[in-house]
Amino acid sequence: MSLYTLLGALEIGLIFSLVALGVYISFRLLRFPDLTVDGSFPLGGAVAATMIAAGYDPFTSTIVATLAGAVAGLITGWLNVSLKIMDLLASILMMIALYSINLRIMGKPNVPLITEPTVFNLLQPEGMADYVFRPLLLVFVVLAVKLLLDGFFATQSGLAIRATGSNARMARAQGVNTGVAVLAGMALSNALVGLAGALFAQTQGGADISMGVGTIVIGLAAVIVGESLLPSRKLYLATLAVIVGAIVYRFFIALALNSDFIGLQAQDLNLVTALLVTIALVVPRLRAHWSGKKGA
Amino acid sequence: MLKATDLRLTFNPGTPIETQALRGMSLEIPTGQFVTVIGSNGAGKSTFLNAVSGEQKVDGGTIEIDGIDMTRQPVWARARHVARVFQDPLAGTCEDLTIEENMALAKMRGERRGLSFAVKPALREEFRAQLSTLGLGLENRLSDRIGLLSGGQRQAVSLLMAALQPSRLLLLDEHTAALDPRTAAFVLELTVRIVAEHKLTTMMVTHSMRQALDVGQRTVMLHQGRVVLDVSGTEREGLDVHHLLDMFEKVRGEEIDDDALLLG
C-alpha cells in the first residue's frame, strides 16, 4: 500500500469518524436505532456541494449543511417523540424522505466540485500537497469535535441526554423532559453526520445521490470495532475509541481492496463492510462462549 | 400538602378484562406528615402512587400539591415538587452513569439544566459528605459506575438523591421490598432519618404491615381503589399487626356478604 492510499484511507477514516461519533450518540447514548444517517450524510453533501457550486463561501456552506443534518435528526426525533412512531421506523421514513429531498436540493443526481473552492483548498498552505493537508486539517476538526462532545456530555444538559438513554423513567422522575432530550440528541447526532457529508463531498470532488448508501453500517462498524479495540465505559475514552475504530476500519478496507492476491474490487466494499461488522459482532460472543466452556 | 380528590381510573374499559383500579380515591396528607399505605394486591396502591407521580393519567378527579393543580402535568414537570424512590433498585438510578453523575442529576431535579458542568468541585464535596453518612464507604467511589453497586447500596443512594433538592412530597414505592431483610432494615432506618431531618411530607407504600405501623404517623389501608381505613395518633399506637389483619379480613368479608346479597 502506497503512502498515497494510506493517507487517503486516513482522510476518509477521519471523515467517517464524525459519522461514527453521531452513530455513537444515537445508538449508544440515546439507544435510538437511527437510520436517518443514510439520508443525512448525502444531505450534508448535497447542501454543501450545491451551495458551493452556486458561489457561496465553502465555510458558510459547510455550516448550513451541518444545520441541515441537525434538522433531519430533529424531524426523526419528532416523528418518534410527538407522533409516537417506533424509533427505527421513524428513522427509515426520514431516510427515504431525504432521498427525494436530496435530489430536489441538487436538482440532478450529482453536483461535481472540480474547480470550485473548498474548505480544504482555501486553507491549504503554499507548498503542501493536498493529500497531506486534508487528513491534517481533518485531525484538528475531529479532535475539536471530540473535545466539544466530551465537554458537552459532562454538562447538566448533556447529562440529561445520557440519563434519558440510560433510564428514561428515572430521568423523568428527576425532572428531565425526555422528549426534548431525545430531540436534542438526535439533532446533535445528525448534525455531525451532515458535517461529515459536507466534508466528504469537498474531498471527493462532489456530491452524489448514492453517496449515503450504507453510511449507517460503516458508522456502526466503526463504533463496534472501536469498542472491541478500546473497551471503556468512560465517555472520553469511548469517543476516542469510536474515532480510532473509524480509522482502523478504513485501513482494513483499503488493505482488502488494495491486496491484489485477494482479488477484491471497489464494488465489493459493502460486502466487505457487512462481513467485517458480522465478525466484530460475533467474535466477542464466541470468545465469551469459549472462555465460559473453559471455566465449566 | 397532597390533596387527591375523587380519583377514578379504569384499565381496559369496555373489555372483558376491565379493571377499576381507582374508584373515587381521596386522600389528604398535611405538610410534614409521614403516611404509610397498605393494601392487598390490586388494591390500587401502586396505581395511586403512579397517579400522584404522573406516570399514570387518571380518568377523573384532581391531584393538588400545596394548592397547585398537578392533574394534567407530565412526570418531568411534577418532579419539581415530587421526589420518588422506586421499588426496583435498578429503576431509580442510571447504571451507565457514575455515582456523582447520578447525584448531580438529582441535584438539578426540577430546575433548568444549562451548559455548566454537572459535577463541580463544591458539589463533589457535598456528595462526599452526604455519602459518608451512609457508612458504606461510597464516599470514596464517587466516579464508580452506579451499576457496580449492590441493590441495597443503590437504594440508599436513591434516598439521598431524593433529599438533595427540596420537595413538597416524597413518594416511596415499596422501596425495601426487593432487598434482603438486613438491607431492608438499614434502608428503612435511613428513610426515617432522612424524612425527619428534612421534615418531608412522605407517602410510603409498603407490603409489610409491621413496617406500616412502625414508621410514620399515620396508616392508610386501600381496598378496591378506595381508602377503607385511616388511622393515626393514639388509635394507631394501640394497633398491632393482627388488628390490621382482622380489619383486612373484615373488609374482604363484607364484600363477600355484598356479593352474597347480590347473588341471593
DSSP conformation letters of A238-284 = HHHHHHHHHHHHHHHHHHHHH-TTTT--GGGHHHHHHHHHHHHHHHH
Q: Is B113 on the interface with A (CB under 8 A)?
A: yes
CB atoms within 10 A of CB B169: 22
For residues A277-289, give the mean pLDDT. 77
Predicted confidence (pLDDT) per residue in A231-277, tens digit: 888 999 999 999 999 999 999 888 887 877 777 777 787 788 788 77
**Residue-level pLDDT at B255:** 61
Predicted confidence (pLDDT) per residue in B48-88, tens digit: 999 999 999 999 999 999 999 999 999 999 999 999 999 99
**Residue-level pLDDT at A295:** 45
Q: What is the 3-state secondary structure (H, E, C) of A157-168?
A: HHHHHHHHHHCH
Task: Please give the DSSP secondary-structure letter assigned to residue B222.
Answer: E
Amino acid at site A171: A
For residues A173-200, give the mean pLDDT. 98
**Type and span of the H or E element at B97:** none
pLDDT at A130 over 70: yes
Nearest to A203 by CA among A39, A2, A51, A11: A11
pLDDT at A56 over 90: yes
Percent of chain B scored above 90 by pLDDT? 81
Phi, psi of B262 (to 5 degrees): -60, -45
Amino acid at site A41: F
Assign A163 a pLDDT band (cuts: 50, 70, 90).
very high
Task: Please give the DSSP secondary-structure letter assigned to residue B4.
Answer: E
Predicted confidence (pLDDT) per residue in B199-223, tens digit: 999 999 998 888 999 999 999 999 9
pLDDT at B96 over 50: yes
CB A94 within 8 A of CB A76: yes
Q: How many angstroms separate the CA atoms of A36 and A17, rounded?
A: 17
Residue A172 distance to chain B (closest CA, Å): 5
| Chain A residues whose beta carbon lies within 8 Å of the beta carbon of residue B101 | 159, 162
Contact criterion met (CB < 8 Å) for A170 and B96 = no
Weakest mean pLDDT among A292-296, B94-98, B103-107: A292-296
Task: Please give the DSSP secondary-structure letter assigned to residue B40.
Answer: -
ipTM over 0.95: no
Give the pTM.
0.91
Q: How many angstroms separate the CA atoms of A75 and A100, rounded?
A: 15
Predicted confidence (pLDDT) per residue in A69-92, tens digit: 999 999 999 999 999 999 999 999
pLDDT at A296 over 50: no
Q: Is B96 on the interface with A (CB under 8 A)?
A: yes
Predicted confidence (pLDDT) per residue in B116-135, tens digit: 999 999 999 999 999 999 99
Average pLDDT over chain A, rounded to whole? 92
**Residue-level pLDDT at B257:** 56
**Residue-level pLDDT at A47:** 98
Contact criterion met (CB < 8 Å) for B91 and A174 = no
Mutation pick from B76, B145, B158 vs chain A, by most beta carbons of A within 10 Å, is: B76
Assign A157 a pLDDT band (cuts: 50, 70, 90).
very high
* Higher local confidence (pLDDT), A258 or A175: A175
Distances (CA, A) of A78 to A41, A83, A84: 19, 7, 8
Contact criterion met (CB < 8 Å) for B76 and A159 = no
pLDDT at A12 over 80: yes
Contact criterion met (CB < 8 Å) for A162 and B118 = no
A:B CB pairs within 8 Å: 89
Of B93, B109, B117, which is closest to A155 when you measure between CB atoms?
B117
**Residue-level pLDDT at B261:** 52
Of A154, A165, A172, which is closest to B76 when you measure between CB atoms?
A172
Assign B115 a pLDDT band (cuts: 50, 70, 90).
very high
CB A189 within 8 A of CB A77: no
**Residue-level pLDDT at B262:** 53
| Chain A residues whose beta carbon lies within 8 Å of the beta carbon of residue B110 | 175
| Chain A residues whose beta carbon lies within 8 Å of the beta carbon of residue B111 | 175
pLDDT at B155 over 80: yes
CB atoms within 10 A of CB A99: 16
> Hey, which residues does B219 pair with through a beta bridge?
B36, B231
Contact criterion met (CB < 8 Å) for A167 and B119 = no
Q: How many angstroms separate the CA atoms of A166 and A182, rounded?
A: 12
**DSSP-derived pairing of the beta strands B34-39 and B218-223:** parallel
Chain B's closest residue to A170, CA to CA, is: B92
**Residue-level pLDDT at A174:** 96
**Residue-level pLDDT at B258:** 55
Distances (CA, A) of A180 to A43, A163, B69: 23, 13, 23
Chain A's closest residue to B84, CA to CA, is: A173
CB A204 within 8 A of CB A111: no
pLDDT at A49 over 70: yes
Contact criterion met (CB < 8 Å) for A156 and B118 = yes
| Chain B residues whose beta carbon lies within 8 Å of the beta carbon of residue A158 | 118
Mutation pick from A30, A152, A153, A174 vs chain B, by most beta carbons of B within 10 Å, is: A174
Burial of A288 (0-12, 13-18, 19+ CB in 10 A): exposed
